[in-house]
Amino acid sequence: MKVLYLGDIVGRSGRDAVIARLGQLRRDLALDFVVVNGENAAGGFGITAAICSALFDAGADVIVTGNHVWDQRETRSFIDQEDRLLRPANFPPGTPGRGAGLYRLQDGRRIAVAQVMGRVFMDPLDDPFAAADRILKHFALGQDVQFILLDIHGEASSEKMAMGHFCDGRATLVAGTHTHVPTADAQILPGGTAYQSDVGMCGDYDSVIGMEKSEPLQRFTRKISSGRFQPALGEATLCGVIVESDDGTGLARSIRPLRLGGRLAPAGYPEGK
């Protein structure tokens, strides 16, 4: 199975770029399944039903979120009815929505997608390792499912790396999000799990992690807030990873970063496309 995971979509710039390019990416790369992180898609904070629909129509199969999942009030009213929109699984019991889902491709193959949120420098949610363990025990890789994608939405690379090794051999891909900067450690771990500490963002990189520069600079240099963060609106770079797996075992055969458009050096896509 060949799966594309695109990192945090930030604001209109990132959203428009994903919507414009995703259909062509699916065709050119012969993708079987696409997962995107949409937690910053609505003006940099949260996601709406209309944005979900636009991303699904563009070719996304599943949308995951993170710590900004509840920033748009309307999300609470529709997340229970949309099983293709996930929030971190380690929110307390009774929280709206779901942290994992099982999805069937047209040819009958199945993929499980799940998300947990780290606790280092983040909100103190329930244990993400225990949550991940429960999810992985529910799906037998290579038997019940041919691919398991686990997103860890976290601040600390050490916690994300620990999650990768904790899940090694039990998931196809463990991918980090949240810091909006693509890391250079894409690899297949010893047990066969593909891993990258952060797949980056889909947004304008002439920014401070996707936000227009003036307000973050004001807060860092003067410790004074002069207004809200606003997403940068320049040309976006799409960032993510492409993972190919062995359907028999569910383990990864390859992982390669994708960078397309905008300011970052391109990777993972044929030149001239």
pLDDT tens-digit readout, 80-96: 999 999 999 999 999 99
- Asked if pLDDT for residue 58 goes beyond 80, the answer is yes
Cβ pair 63, 86 in contact under 8 A: yes
With respect to residue 211, please indicate whether it lies within any of the assigned structural domains: no
Q: Across residues 245-250, what is the average pLDDT?
A: 96
pLDDT for residue 169: 97
With respect to residue 190, please indicate whether it lies within any of the assigned structural domains: yes
Residue-wise burial string across 109-137, b where 16 or more C-beta atoms lie within 10 A, e elsewhere: bbbbbbbbbbbeebeebbebbebbeebbe
pLDDT for residue 272: 44
- Asked if pLDDT for residue 230 goes beyond 60, the answer is yes
With respect to residue 134, please indicate whether it lies within any of the assigned structural domains: yes
pLDDT for residue 270: 75
- Asked if pLDDT for residue 78 goes beyond 60, the answer is yes
Q: Across residues 195-213, what is the average pLDDT?
A: 96
Number of domains in the chain: 1
Six token digits for residue 200: 């980056």
CATH classification of the domain holding 27: 3.60.21.10
With respect to residue 224, please indicate whether it lies within any of the assigned structural domains: no
- Asked if pLDDT for residue 204 goes beyond 50, the answer is yes
- Asked if pLDDT for residue 219 goes beyond 70, the answer is yes
With respect to residue 126, please indicate whether it lies within any of the assigned structural domains: yes
User: Where does the pLDDT of residue 138 fall: very low under 50, low under 70, confident under 90, or very high at 90 and above?
Assistant: very high
Q: What single DSSP character describes residue 241? A: E
pLDDT for residue 273: 54
What's the mean pLDDT when you consider all of the chain?
96
- Plot region of 237 (φ>0 → left; ψ -120 to 50 → alpha; else → beta): beta
Catalytic residue among 68, 153, 178, 180: 68
Name the nearest CA neighbour of 151 among 196, 190, 186: 196
Q: Across residues 222-246, what is the average pLDDT?
A: 94
With respect to residue 200, please indicate whether it lies within any of the assigned structural domains: yes
- Asked if pLDDT for residue 178 goes beyond 80, the answer is yes
Specify the 3-state DSSP secondary structure of 114: strand
Question: Which tens digit of pLDDT belongs to each residue from 102-124?
Answer: 999 999 999 999 999 999 999 99
Cβ pair 152, 186 in contact under 8 A: no
With respect to residue 196, please indicate whether it lies within any of the assigned structural domains: yes
- Asked if pLDDT for residue 18 goes beyond 90, the answer is yes
Active-site residue 178, yes or no? Answer: no
Domain that holds residue 182: 2-204+234-260
- Asked if pLDDT for residue 271 goes beyond 80, the answer is no
With respect to residue 118, please indicate whether it lies within any of the assigned structural domains: yes
Q: pTM of the entire structure? A: 0.96
